[in-house]
Structures are given as C-alpha cells and as structure tokens.
Chain A
C-alpha cells in the first residue's frame, strides 16, 4: 500500500519531468538567458542616458516577454517534430483563474523581496554579499524545482550557480562583470545540459513507427 502511494507520486513526477526529457526546453532557456544578459550588458554600455533608460524599461521586458514566447514556440515545434512521434505527446495543464493570479502574485512578491534585499545589501554591504545573495537565491530555486519534479540535474545547476559565484569572487568580478559571468555561465550550463539530454534521448528512443500514436 505504501508502495502504491509512492508509485503514484513517482508517476506524477515522471510525467512532469517528461517536458525536460529531450533537452530542448533547457537549450531554449539557456539561449534566452544569454540573450538577456548580453542585452543588459550592451544597454549598460550605452552612453546616452535617455536611450539607456528606454532600453532597460522597454527593451528588457520586451525581450523577456517576446523572447520567452518565441523560445517556447520553437521548443514546441521541435518537440512536435522529434519527441512526440518517438515517445508520445503530453500537454500540461495551464494555471487558470485564481490559481494563475495567486501564482503571479507570489512571483511578484518574491521578486519584490529579492529586489528589496538586494538593493538594501548593495547600499550597506560590500558587493560580495549582494552577489552571494543572488547566487544562493538562484541555487535554492534550482533545488526546489529539482526536488518538486525529481530531476537531479537541477541540483547540478544549483552547484554551478554557487561555483560561478566562487569564480567571480576569485577573479574579483563585480557589478556588471559579475552578472555577465554569472548569467552567461548559467546560460551555458543550461545549453550544455540540454545538449547532453538531447543526445541521450535520441540514442535511447527510436524514430516513429507507423500507427503507433
């Protein structure tokens, strides 16, 4: 009976993990992360203040929203072509109504808290504390996701997050240099992990047979 309960939980987690089985989602997130930080870096180098403000206030959210949607569409197209015919199609429930709003509210509160603590730390303490805070929050987020869906490679992302912070401390990378190193490293880690997952997936799954779906 106890096994039955564990089997149910494991089956639910395995179904949720299926989104990551082919690595496409990770490659997409990695590319988006790198684009965002490169845009941020380029915007920070702009000398004209009006243009810089416009880039940060309009360009950045637009890149995150539109880039996110574009990456999501490309990932779905790739899955339709390579994954669903091989190992089957699964779609996931979208949060609707109050669940959607409560999740958005939670994300907004979390973002505001992280932003407030970061700016508080940056004003009163050396930059290393601010960097450590960012690295730890991101590492904890990875651990939470890894635990929720039972995907071990998210624990590796958490370790990479802390390792990148360590490297930044060693080479004395501060402010934009830190963020460039930290998020480019994160993006690269996602892409490499996605490529490994894709390679393993293609090796372990067979091309479609007629009438199997």
Chain B
C-alpha cells in the first residue's frame, strides 16, 4: 500500500514521458530552443508546443520568444520551481526503485 502511495505521489506533470524528456533536457541546460527540443524529443511541433505549454502553465519552465536575424526563436528555460520539482521527482523515483 505504501508503494502505491509512493508511486501515486509522483508529480503527474513531470511523469508523462514526453514532458519528462523535456524536463531532463532543460535540467541539464541553461536554455534550449524549440529546434533542439523538437529534434531531441522526436515530437511533432504541435505536440511539443502543447507539452511546453503545460510545463509553462505550472511554472516549471519559462518560454521567451524572439528573433535571431530574421528567423523566429523560442527559448525555454527551467525555473527554480521546475528545478526543485524535477529533483524531488527524481528523489521520489529513486526511493521507489530502491524499495522494489
């Protein structure tokens, strides 16, 4: 029962595979642009935008839109809250795996 509690207390926003991949990338980077996230996640543009939107809505990432020359650029950065949530998620996951 306690194991069930452990697993159910994992952050659902982060636990989704695509968002977990995005959070892992942004945890290692200071900033990453849309193109990099698109290539690394293997998502479609629409899916990526939706997942980034969800992470931004809960305050885990910040999105900044700008231009490099004439090309549009979307930069994503993990917030302090996102960093804490991701570290907490990893700790919870690690603890859960140790009990298995």
Residues of A bordering B, CB below 8 Å: 1-2, 4-5, 7-8, 11-16, 18, 84-85, 87-94, 208, 210-213
Question: Which of B28, B39, B71, B75 is within 8 Å of A85, CB to CB?
Answer: B71
| Interface assignment of B11: CB less than 8 Å from any CB of chain A | no
Count residues of B near A (Cβ-Cβ below 8 Å).
30
- Cα(A2)–Cα(B90), bound, Å: 12
Give 6 A-B pairs besides A7-B24, A8-B90, A90-B31 with Cβ atoms closer than 8 angstroms: A2-B97, A87-B35, A87-B39, A88-B32, A91-B30, A93-B30
* Contact, CB under 8 Å: B39 / A211: no
Give which listed residue, A8, A16, A94, A213, contacts B72 with CB less than 8 A: A213
- By the criterion CB–CB under 8 Å, are B100 and A1 in contact? yes
In the complex, whether B33 has a CB less than 8 A from a CB of chain A is yes
A1 touches B35 (CB 8 A): no
| Interchain CB contact under 8 A, B73 and A89 | yes
Alpha-carbon distance between A93 and B34 when the two chains are bound, in angstroms? 18
B85 within 8 A of A: no
Minimum distance in angstroms from A16 CB to a CB of chain B: 6
Q: B residues within 8 A CB of A84?
A: 33, 35, 68
Residue of A whose beta carbon sits closest to that of B37: A88
Q: Which 6 A-B pairs have the closest CB atoms?
A: A88-B36, A11-B24, A15-B28, A88-B35, A89-B33, A12-B28
